[in-house]
Structure 1
Amino acid sequence: MADVIEELKNEQASDVFLKDNGGICFNSQVIQQAQRDLGIELVKKAGKSIFKGKGIMRMSLPPRVNVFDTRSQLETVSSDHFSFGNLIKAANQQGEERKDSCLRYYFDILLETVMHQLKPFNPLMGETFSDSFMLQFENISYTIIVEAEQIMNHPPTSLYNIKVNSESEHLFTLNGCASLDASLLMNHSDVKRTGLNRVVFAKNQPQVFEFEQPVLRVYGLFYGQRWCHFMGKSNIAFYMNNCKVSCAYIRDEEKKVVVGESVELTFAKSESAFKSATKDHVYGLLGKQKINGSVMGEIFKDQILIWNNQKAQQSIQSQNTTPCFSDCRNRPDIIQFKLGNDEDADKHKNILEERQRADRKLRGCE
């Protein structure tokens, strides 16, 4: 897998940001060619349905170098949130300063999800991911404790609970749900990640920061330049106290005591399914303040720059906790793939997926 890592390093270090229409452009020819070769096999296998925008999450693909990640989907959706620098700053702030740091974190993780080009292994019902990590940020050590579980297969849905502590105190907890789906339409794909994420700070106000993620559209799957941008709408919100305001059955009198504010962010939309004449743009109102800018460039709050695509440096290292039996890192297909045994990885992957299909049929889920 060394060639994949090196390609990604070279690519992320290069000038990948488009200057004319926004979005992010991928330059790795090695990865793109490997994925396009597999894409041709996918077309042959799926037939005409692949061009009608149908979901592709149920399709089983053989693990290939430069196509597959060495992690499962459960591990990737958890670690996508690990750009914690701005949330760590927010933990010791309050009011408008905390809101600004939370907004920076939000755009940090959006950019983080864009940089992934490799496909994670499909999830298995009931698999888990649990580990602790040491994070170094601005010469201070922090501990990240992750507990995650795959609760649904179609659509693949993960729950995760992430706690971040300093050496002396608990800073915040992130509870989240990620339900993933992807569809192909001609030469592009829409990747949808639905589910609410909720950050609860240990002290100061606003205590709660909630957010959703927009749809990511990726162009150039089979030909042309590979690039992507976000589209559609998503919501972020701040609440003074840790109350379950998202419950559908909350009573009217309880709503009156909820103090907070929210913003609906609107991301760029494609003008046509056959053209990439889109601007990488996001806008919305937080109170009376205008959020405006580019996810791949700069974000402004009114006329003040609050975020750009240059993330703060941080170092994260696993503490190598012994995984339990159900941990996704114990999967034989992933283990064999890490060892470079693609054929054995494919055999184990097929066995696991057939076992899961049989279980779903037995429970009447098909």
Structure 2
Amino acid sequence: MSDSNKNESKGFFATMTSMFGNAMHRSVNGLLGYEGVEVINPEGGKDDAEEEAQRGRWRQEDRDSYWKMMQKYIGSDVTSMVTLPVIIFEPMTMLQKIAELMEYSHLLDKADECEDPYMRLVYASSWAISVYYAYERTWKPFNPILGETYEMVNHGGITFLAEQVSHHPPMSAGHAENEHFTYDVTSKLKTKFLGNSLDIYPVGRTRVTLKRDDVVLDLVPPPTKVNNLIFGRTWVDSPGEMIMTNLTTGDKVVLYFQPCGWFGSGRYEVDGYVYNADEEPKILMTGKWNESMSYQPCDLEGEPLPGTELKEVFRVADAPPNDKFQYTYFAHKINSFDTAPKKLLASDSRLRPDRYALEKGDLSKSGSEKSSLEERQRVEKRARESKGHKFTPRWFDLTDEVTPTPWGDLEVYQYNGKYTEHRAAIDTAEVVEEVDVNSIEFNPWQYGNLSTE
């Protein structure tokens, strides 16, 4: 979209801050060996740079060793090339993180039931925004092991499945379905490490099909920036455009995630419009991604129609107070076995010993289990390559389609339907043996029990 169109689309909204650099930047020049490393305080403030830099979860000795290790990667994509300490992790994997999009899936149900094509996009785009409250968490999820899966049932009639389909580059595929919609994603992240911050580019494809009228929606989210990775209080921002397009009709919604400005101005704010296929604004949307979103019919100039008022479409649910990992109630639900189906796959993320140890607060055990899993993955890769074999996902198939994204081309994986057959066979069985999930050993491997020696 051109700059002129962007300006026109803002209508009555205040002019957006154009540069992310308006946040308070300070160089940590007083700390030996850290010259030029910036600390960004989203609230601005008057703290001394050295005092601000010491805030966060790192001990000084951990910070020193980590900085020495990471300096050589500045400017690089560190998606899968760096072994990271468990101190920065949360007890959840990227596959479970994908599943967090299902928390407010009732908005997709409403989109499917809605006859107004523009309100469909209001509901569907609010669903896409809803997950950003969870993305605000500053802990890193575990990278899934190749072949790892995550299953979820018992939530809004949804069956959800995700599988790690590639290790280099890291890629996941997911599929969810209920009576109103299907959700399909191929997820691939591209990163750029900048010293004390990390830029994350979502080189993925998200498609939602609303079943009633077979409407297909395509989502392109904004990039994300993680600030103060090593020094200072870590925080997340997602400045840029989110675009959701109705591929069936040509209608679309364009929402602007404002960058954090001086003293936190603009942080969390989202403004934009639903457009028809002729790119005429029909509904304005405004709100904060960590609080709520509202909508109002508008004229061709983007101004609210007389006699109408803003109506709230979505509000973030209450979260547990003082939660260690900033988890929502739904995030805890994802990590529990309450959302697991009968005869859970042994490759499920819940069963990972490093994830479980971290959940129990045992960082030492979590670190050793993580190293063991990563080494086992390398051993399996060598065994597979020695036989001339390629890894083949179980529940998703690689298609011939390569789709362009703003940050690079993406190979697309497609759900193959085998999991639906697998789950139906279990659910319709007359007798299903009860298994203690705590006794299931995590097993995503294709090549059986390989020694890591």
Structure 1: runs of 5 or more not aligned:
1-19, 135-141, 165-169, 241-258
The residue type paired with residue 33 of structure 1 is: G
Task: Please say if 1:145 is aligned against 2:166.
Answer: no
Q: Which residue of 2 aligns with 1:289?
A: 281
Q: Which residue of 1 aligns with 2:239?
A: 231
Paired with 2:92 and 2:188, the residues of 1 have a C-alpha distance of 17
- Residue 212 of structure 1, CA deviation: 2.0
- Give the alignment partner of residue 315 of structure 2, picking from 301, 304, 310: 310
When residues 83 and 58 of structure 1 are mapped into structure 2, their CA distance, relative to the original with a 3 A threshold, is farther
The residue type paired with residue 199 of structure 1 is: V
When residues 24 and 177 of structure 1 are mapped into structure 2, their CA distance, relative to the original with a 3 A threshold, is farther
Q: SS of 1:75's equivalent?
A: helix
Task: Please say if 1:333 is aligned against 2:354.
Answer: yes
- Residue 283 of structure 1, CA deviation: 4.8
Q: Which residue of 2 aligns with 1:8?
A: none
- Residue 221 of structure 1, CA deviation: 2.7
Q: Is this contact kept in 2: 1:219–1:226, CA < 8 A?
A: yes
Q: Is this contact kept in 2: 1:98–1:206, CA < 8 A?
A: no
Task: Please say if 1:202 is aligned against 2:211.
Answer: yes
When residues 39 and 264 of structure 1 are mapped into structure 2, their CA distance, relative to the original with a 3 A threshold, is farther
The residue type paired with residue 122 of structure 1 is: N
Q: Is this contact kept in 2: 1:21–1:278, CA < 8 A?
A: no
Q: Which residue of 1 aligns with 2:99?
A: 78
Q: Is this contact kept in 1: 2:125–2:253, CA < 8 A?
A: no
Q: Which residue of 1 aligns with 2:251?
A: 261
- Residue 25 of structure 1, CA deviation: 5.4
Paired with 1:230 and 1:83, the residues of 2 have a C-alpha distance of 20
Q: SS of 1:260's equivalent?
A: coil
Q: Is this contact kept in 2: 1:24–1:229, CA < 8 A?
A: no
Seq. identity, %: 22
- Residue 157 of structure 1, CA deviation: 1.2
Q: Which residue of 1 aligns with 2:201?
A: 192
- Residue 198 of structure 1, CA deviation: 1.3
- Residue 176 of structure 1, CA deviation: 1.2
Q: Which residue of 2 aligns with 1:154?
A: 168
Spell out the pairing of 1:127-142 with structure 2 (5 A cutoff).
127-134=148-155, 142=156
Give a deviation string over 1:94-113, Cα, whole Å, max 9, x none.
22221221122122223432
- Residue 144 of structure 1, CA deviation: 2.1
Give a deviation string over 1:171-209, Cα, whole Å, max 9, x none.
111111211233321332212222111111221x47222
The residue type paired with residue 47 of structure 1 is: Q
Paired with 1:294 and 1:40, the residues of 2 have a C-alpha distance of 40
- Residue 75 of structure 1, CA deviation: 1.4
When residues 126 and 104 of structure 1 are mapped into structure 2, their CA distance, relative to the original with a 3 A threshold, is same
Q: Which residue of 1 aligns with 2:131?
A: 109
Q: Comparing 78-87 with 144-153, which one deviates more in the overlay?
A: 78-87
Q: Which residue of 2 aligns with 1:45?
A: 69
Q: Comparing 120-129 with 99-108, which one deviates more in the overlay?
A: 99-108
Q: CA RMSD in A?
A: 3.8
When residues 229 and 46 of structure 1 are mapped into structure 2, their CA distance, relative to the original with a 3 A threshold, is closer
Q: Is this contact kept in 2: 1:206–1:239, CA < 8 A?
A: no
- Residue 126 of structure 1, CA deviation: 0.6
The residue type paired with residue 110 of structure 1 is: Y
How high is the TM-score relative to the length of structure 1?
A: 0.69
The residue type paired with residue 66 of structure 2 is: L
When residues 292 and 230 of structure 1 are mapped into structure 2, their CA distance, relative to the original with a 3 A threshold, is farther
Paired with 1:103 and 1:292, the residues of 2 have a C-alpha distance of 10
Q: Is this contact kept in 2: 1:104–1:307, CA < 8 A?
A: no
Task: Please say if 1:350 is aligned against 2:355.
Answer: no
When residues 224 and 215 of structure 1 are mapped into structure 2, their CA distance, relative to the original with a 3 A threshold, is same
Give a deviation string over 1:40-65, Cα, whole Å, max 9, x none.
43222233333x3542542112323x
Q: Which residue of 2 aligns with 1:6?
A: none
Q: Which residue of 1 aligns with 2:227?
A: 219
How high is the TM-score relative to the length of structure 2?
A: 0.57
Q: Which residue of 2 aligns with 1:97?
A: 119
- Residue 306 of structure 1, CA deviation: 6.2
Paired with 1:98 and 1:313, the residues of 2 have a C-alpha distance of 25
- Residue 361 of structure 1, CA deviation: 4.7
Task: Please say if 1:121 is aligned against 2:142.
Answer: yes
The residue type paired with residue 48 of structure 1 is: K
Paired with 1:307 and 1:186, the residues of 2 have a C-alpha distance of 40
Structure 2: runs of 5 or more not aligned:
1-21, 25-39, 44-51, 297-301, 305-309, 320-328, 391-453
Paired with 1:93 and 1:312, the residues of 2 have a C-alpha distance of 23
When residues 270 and 34 of structure 1 are mapped into structure 2, their CA distance, relative to the original with a 3 A threshold, is closer
Spell out the pairing of 1:1-12 with structure 2 (5 A cutoff).
none
Q: Is this contact kept in 1: 2:121–2:274, CA < 8 A?
A: no
The residue type paired with residue 281 of structure 2 is: Q
